[in-house]
Structure 1
């Protein structure tokens, strides 16, 4: 049996902030479980959502679209949202597609949580 192309976990942090951590590839073949998990997370109306892509090894165009759509959805629902990006494998595709400036990117989970706390105060 082959190992899945990614792993996905959701953890509740302090003050109701949910951390969704993804590892492996994020592309057309692997994005559906991540989208489903984010749908469930947003439907719960948490006080904030951090999407941790620190362990993502490949980001395809479908992954980029998913990030943009998630950011827009969070804004519509008024849920503070932050994305952890600390690898070239994720940051470079975002820069090339010129969406890096439009997304709430942070270098670490701690920085992302701190940013969400500022927004919610």
Structure 2
């Protein structure tokens, strides 16, 4: 059995008040709390926008999908532009199968996600 770990980066503040959170490893019930804490910190700092980078996630479980949906709803309630970067099958497939992909602002590259939140913030 392969051990999966999640290492969310400390929320990085980019130019224009964009909070970037990078996640690697598994995003599931075992790691959800750490990622939620990073998102809470980001939302509490009242950023202009939030980008969640999942390019290095190698497993996305149902708890991770729930986290993404909750983050999207929270961002909408707070009127904070939100984007998710995902270009790998391990993230995109579970989102498609669960039919959540259409409810999330998914982008294949960090540059695309940054451009989208900058545009939404104007």
- Counterpart of 2:35 in structure 1 is 34
Counterparts of 1:62-77 in structure 2, within 5 Å, are 62-77=63-78
Counterparts of 1:1-80 in structure 2, within 5 Å, are 5-9=5-9, 10-80=11-81
Distance in 1, Cα, partners of 2:7 & 2:19: 16
Q: CA deviation at 1:63?
A: 0.2
Distance in 2, Cα, partners of 1:66 & 1:120: 23
Distance in 2, Cα, partners of 1:116 & 1:36: 21
- Counterpart of 1:109 in structure 2 is 110
Q: CA deviation at 1:112?
A: 0.3
Question: Can you list the C-alpha shifts for 1:56-82, whole angstroms capped at 9, x where unaligned?
Answer: 000000000000000000000011000
| Structure 1 outlier segments of 4+, above 3 Å | none
3-state SS of paired residue (1:62): helix
Q: CA deviation at 1:26?
A: 0.5
Give the 3 Å change call, closer, same or farther, for CA 64–4 of structure 1 in structure 2: closer
Distance in 2, Cα, partners of 1:100 & 1:53: 14
Structure 1: 5+ residue runs without aligned partners?
A: none
More strand by share: 1
Distance in 2, Cα, partners of 1:4 & 1:85: 18
Q: CA deviation at 1:120?
A: 1.1
- Counterpart of 1:82 in structure 2 is 83
Q: CA deviation at 1:83?
A: 0.3
